[in-house]
């Protein structure tokens, strides 16, 4: 698993728009044209957010 990076402003907006996610708890692993893959800061669990959904 890759190391997570701090999200950009645009990515923060996408994370905040996703239901049930607290922005401060997530790091960005990778961003593709269709999805955003996040890693939880403490547990290390991955979550995928689809763009445009």
**Would residue 45 count as lying in a domain?**
yes
- The closest alpha carbon to 49, from 8, 20, 41, belongs to 20
Cβ neighbors of 51 (< 8 A, separation 6 or more) are 14, 33, 34, 35, 36
**Would residue 25 count as lying in a domain?**
yes
**Would residue 15 count as lying in a domain?**
yes
Task: Name the H helices within the chain.
Answer: 9-17
For the chain, the domain total comes to 1
**Would residue 26 count as lying in a domain?**
yes
Average pLDDT, the chain: 92
Containing structural domain, residue 36: 9-50
**Would residue 4 count as lying in a domain?**
no
Place of tokens 């049930």: 20
Give the separation between CA 31 and CA 35, rounded to whole angstroms: 6
For residues 7 and 21, is the Cβ–Cβ distance under 8 A? no
Per-residue model confidence as pLDDT tens digits over 2-25: 889 999 999 999 999 988 899 999
**Would residue 2 count as lying in a domain?**
no
Question: What is the pTM for the complete model shown?
Answer: 0.87
**Would residue 30 count as lying in a domain?**
yes
């Amino acid at each position: 698993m890759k190391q997570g990076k701090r999200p950009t402003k645009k990515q923060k907006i996408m994370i905040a728009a996703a239901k049930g996610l607290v922005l401060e708890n997530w790091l960005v692993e990778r961003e593709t044209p269709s999805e955003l893959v996040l890693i939880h800061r403490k547990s290390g669990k991955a979550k995928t957010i689809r763009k445009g959904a």
